[in-house]
Amino acid sequence: MPLNSHEIAQQRHLKRHLTFWRFMAVAVVIIGLIAVSAVTINNKTFSIRQQHIATIEISGIIYRDDRLLAQLKKIEKSDKVSGLILIIDSPGGTVTGSEDIYLAVRKIAAKKPVTALMRGVAASGGYISAIAADQIFASSNTITGSIGVIYQWPEYVELLNKVGVKMQTVKSAPLKAEPSGMVPLTDEVRQQVEISVKDSYDWFVGLVSKRRDMSINNALRLADGRVYSGRQALAENLIDAIGDIETSQQWLKNQLQQDGKPYEDLESIDWTPPLFEQAGLNRFLKIQINSIIGVKVFDINSTKNISSTGLMALMLN
């Protein structure tokens, strides 16, 4: 039954009110989060003017994170930071992202003591972050190791053939933009991929050998891609001890005491980039706003997409 003009006007009026209150709900949530973030930042700014131990979390998939690297640079240069605790809970990520963290942490370790604390997972690129520290602690059931490199891509040429799609390509050389899922893998391309993977793998194994003070042969024995529990990692000299945050703090204070530097009553201050700035929260807010308004206002996949051509996306595994 068709609606009369009065009913149509009433429905439009209700929709306008509903949209208004949806916007108000989103505004309240955003303002609240900004306020909490601002208070946190202000408190942290005040606290870091005093001598302290810095902590910073490395979690999730590792890729180049300029905010994290900026924080590590500030920790390196700050004369108010006596030492650093890396808290790691990551399954790994890109080779370059892991290398960025490793180099940044080594610069800090040249000036002040650094310890790594492995939480649930510190494997592959997460392990690279850990071995940059002077001392590594883990829980007895932490998952670590997974020393290796992997490069994967989908090959969908058969699907294209079935639907009648043919890709035409003009390129300067046969290996340009290879491997590609649009064409069958050739022996030449596979060989080049294997060379690149082997090169990154050798770099990884070399780091393990150097930082854990073991022979290359022993590092190779451990670097077959398997994972280790914290207990197994300790037995294989991949970590230094089983411990927790208090153990890490005590180790740092012992190091400072040996160096004749102030160590008593040092507060631990979190230097992890503020939650409100992190992509995870941004993505969450976008999802919630889209849901509340009922319209796709934000593209939730528009930030921090990892894309690459060819071998730029080598992953540690």
Tokens representing 308?
A: 């690459």
Of the candidates 73, 176, 210, 304, the residue annotated as catalytic is 176
Query: How is residue 311 annotated by DSSP?
Result: G
Of the candidates 78, 82, 90, 124, the residue annotated as catalytic is 124
Place of tokens 């649930």: 120
Among this protein's residues, is 176 annotated catalytic? yes
Angle of helix 5-47 relative to helix 279-293, nearest 10 degrees, comes to: 160
Q: Are 260 and 155 contacting, i.e. CB atoms less than 8 angstroms apart? A: no
Angle of helix 95-109 relative to helix 187-211, nearest 10 degrees, comes to: 20
Place of tokens 């020393």: 147
Kind plus residue range of the DSSP H or E element containing 62: strand 52-62
C-alpha–C-alpha distance, residues 256 and 263, integer Å: 6
Q: Are 316 and 149 contacting, i.e. CB atoms less than 8 angstroms apart? A: yes
Q: Which residues are catalytic?
A: 124, 176
